[in-house]
Amino acid sequence: MSSTSQPIGVIAKLLDLSERRVQQLSREGVIPKVNRGQYDLIGFRMPGGVGETTGISQFLHQ
């Protein structure tokens, strides 16, 4: 396990999302999956490029 990877439950709580939504975002390439049940929040990518902060909450909670 990478030192920056966390279990899905931790990522879901940090982002105030369901575990299912974390999995969906992983499939969409937004949250990188490290191993089974482990995700890397450091590699989190927002569509729109660097510095895109408008609508992050809306995007995550679609």
pLDDT in tens, 2-20: 567 889 999 899 888 899 9
Average pLDDT in the 44-48 region?
A: 61
Query: Quick one: DSSP state of residue 47?
Result: T
Which structural domain, as residue segments, surrounds residue 32? 5-60
Give the list of residues 6+ apart from residue 9 with CB closer than 8 angstroms, or none: 19
Predicted pLDDT of residue 62: 59
Average pLDDT in the 27-38 region?
A: 88
Average pLDDT in the 27-35 region?
A: 87
Structure tokens at 42: 């450091």
pTM above 0.75, yes or no: no
Which of 60, 12, 5 lies closest to 35 in space, CA to CA? 5
Domain count for the chain: 1
Give the list of residues 6+ apart from residue 56 with CB closer than 8 angstroms, or none: 46
Element (H, E) at 9: helix 8-15
Give percent of the chain above pLDDT 70.
Answer: 63
